[in-house]
Amino acid sequence: MNGVLAIMSRELRLAVRQSSDSMMVIAFFVIAVVLFPFGVGPEPQMLARIGPGVIWVAALLAAMLSMERMFQADYEDGSLELLALTPVPLELTVLAKVLSHWLTTGLPLIIVSPLLAIMMNIPPEGWGILILSLALGTPTLSLIGAVGAGLILGARRGGVLLSLLVLPLFIPILIFGVGSVDMVLNGLETKAHMLLLGGIFLGSLALTPWATAAAVREAVA
């Protein structure tokens, strides 16, 4: 555990030094949501109907902005090879990097989302489930994105390739995340959607570290 905590501490220190990356993610999230009222008009009922989907799509795209760099900088300067040779299992190293990525990208998006929900005229009864769905969905995005980030190491135009790899896998998360908010706003039970989001998260937590570690070992071999 000491090794994992040391890796997390390192990643968070690097994120603080490069805080512009996190700010870029938040700025993209806010701007993407703010642009929609200008495109579809300021009619409150329209904004409330499309609001959950807009916020979820913007959060997904914003999280993807930093996924390519999850392992890329360490790969380029040789640090990734050293991390692979440490006594800490590479799967735990991957989890530490994923958690650091979520703390610096996913968590800020969750914090900002209630303000954007107000701007999109989403009723107050939908705010809690929106935050909860993002709290379950954004870590899953980071876990799945880590697999793609490991697979594109050393590839040309890695950002485009990463999008092609992970975007189809993000679709179920998007569907259930938006659906959970819509169900609440329509006065229906949202338990099934949240259980499915939780199941996807637990499945990703169990499988993606192994897949990512295998991809990273192949890249540094």
Report the distance separating Cα 196 and Cα 190, nearest Å: 10
- pLDDT at residue 197 greater than cutoff 80: yes
Q: What is the pLDDT of residue 208?
A: 93
Lowest mean pLDDT among 23-27, 99-103, 152-156: 152-156
pLDDT-derived band of residue 161, with 50, 70 and 90 as boundaries? confident
Q: Which domain holds residue 196?
A: 2-220
Could you tell me the pTM of the whole model? 0.90
Per-residue pLDDT tens over the stretch 47-72? 888 999 999 999 999 988 888 888 88
Distance CA 134, CA 152 (A): 26
**Residues 67/148, Cβ–Cβ less than 8 Å:** yes
Q: What is the pLDDT of residue 1?
A: 64
pLDDT of residue 110: 94
Number of domains present in the structure of the chain: 1
pLDDT at 31: 93
pLDDT in tens, 115-152: 999 999 899 998 999 999 999 999 999 999 999 988 88
Q: What is the DSSP letter of 126?
A: G
- The per-residue pLDDT for 218 is 83
